[in-house]
Amino acid sequence: MTESKKAALSIVKIGGNIVDNPQALESFLNDFHQLEGHKLLVHGGGVMASKMAKQLGIETKMIHGRRITDEETLKLVTMVYAGWGNKNIVALLQKTGCNAIGLSGADANTIPAIRRSPVPIDFGFAGDPDPDKTNTDFISQLIESGITPVFCAITHDGSGSLLNTNADTIAYTLATALSEKYLVTIYYCFEKEGVMMDVNDPTSMILTMTREEYETYKQKGIIVDGMIPKLDNSFRAIENGVSKVVILHAKNLLSGKGTTLG
């Protein structure tokens, strides 16, 4: 399909800090409903999962900001992400008038994944999805029927095991796969206004960024830590067919004010 004939699709990712805040979540979902055109939502839930783990006496282990998912943790995150977190979002979207359906990557084989190698770090039941194996036919059928898919961060390996997958990676995977059928924009919503030259200065937001500029900012130590994997995923998405990526505060979803990559 030629680019000019493709319909636009917005893929929006929200983090656990929004999912776990009832007021912020409801405000965000009202804005999400008002987004024009086709849309799809991906959500995390790590904040809620960590709280629940503490209540149940399950130790939370993290390496480089990634959760170690042993068997008990897998049960927990599945209950939180694919259960309460996902269905609560779907119910709130129905309240806005947005007809949504909650999905994990196991449902309709939408996002199969491979369990990550234990070398050099054993992350347990962590899944790495392949965009080429994503069930885009089923997802696009939902979208074209006026149903908004809401994906949690759970995938599966095709052999009966669920897998925990980073929500940013879910958004990247879906966006890359669906870019064959749509003009895709990814909105990564988080707690900052965008990518900052100085994280302590809210007026230092970078409005636009190319891959070359990003590499320069990394070399100078301006962009560090958790922003690096987010931007790596973002530019990889653009290189694999995604039209645009915007990194912004959740409250600015409708205005689109943030850092635009492309």
What phi, psi does 217 have (nearest 5°)? -60, -35
Tokens 């095991």, residue located: 161
Per-residue pLDDT of the chain in tens (262 residues, 90 and over written 9): 667 689 999 999 998 889 999 999 999 999 999 999 999 999 999 889 999 999 999 988 988 778 899 999 999 999 999 999 999 999 999 999 999 999 999 999 999 999 999 999 999 999 999 999 999 999 999 999 999 999 999 999 999 999 999 999 999 999 999 999 999 999 999 888 999 999 889 899 999 999 999 999 999 999 988 788 889 989 999 999 999 999 999 999 999 999 999 7
As a dihedral over the C-alpha atoms of residue 7, residue 10, residue 166, residue 224, rounded to 10 degrees, the angle is: 120
- Find the angle CA(79)-CA(234)-CA(2) to the nearest 5 degrees: 105
Residues 30, 35, 41, 46, CA torsion sign: negative
Tell me the two tokens of residue 150: 């809401």
Domains annotated for the chain, with CATH where assigned, are 3-261 (3.40.1160.10)
Count of residues making up the chain = 262
- Omega prior to 120 cis, within 30 of 0: yes
As a dihedral over the C-alpha atoms of residue 206, residue 7, residue 144, residue 88, rounded to 10 degrees, the angle is: 10
Q: Is pTM, for the whole model, over 0.85?
A: yes
- Annotated binding residue 127: no
Specify which residues 79 forms β-bridges with. none
The DSSP-derived string for 193-222 is: SS-BSSTT-TT-B--EE-HHHHHHHHHTTS
CA atoms within 13 A on the CB side of 178: 30
Q: Distance between CA atoms of 235 and 217, rounded to whole angstroms?
A: 14
What phi, psi does 246 have (nearest 5°)? -120, 130
Q: 199: Cβ–Cβ under 8 A, 6 or more apart, which residues?
A: 192
- Annotated binding residue 45: yes
Q: Contact, 112 vs 158, CB < 8 A?
A: yes
Q: Distance between CA atoms of 230 and 190, rounded to whole angstroms?
A: 11
pLDDT tens by residue, 115-146: 999 999 999 999 999 999 999 999 999 999 99
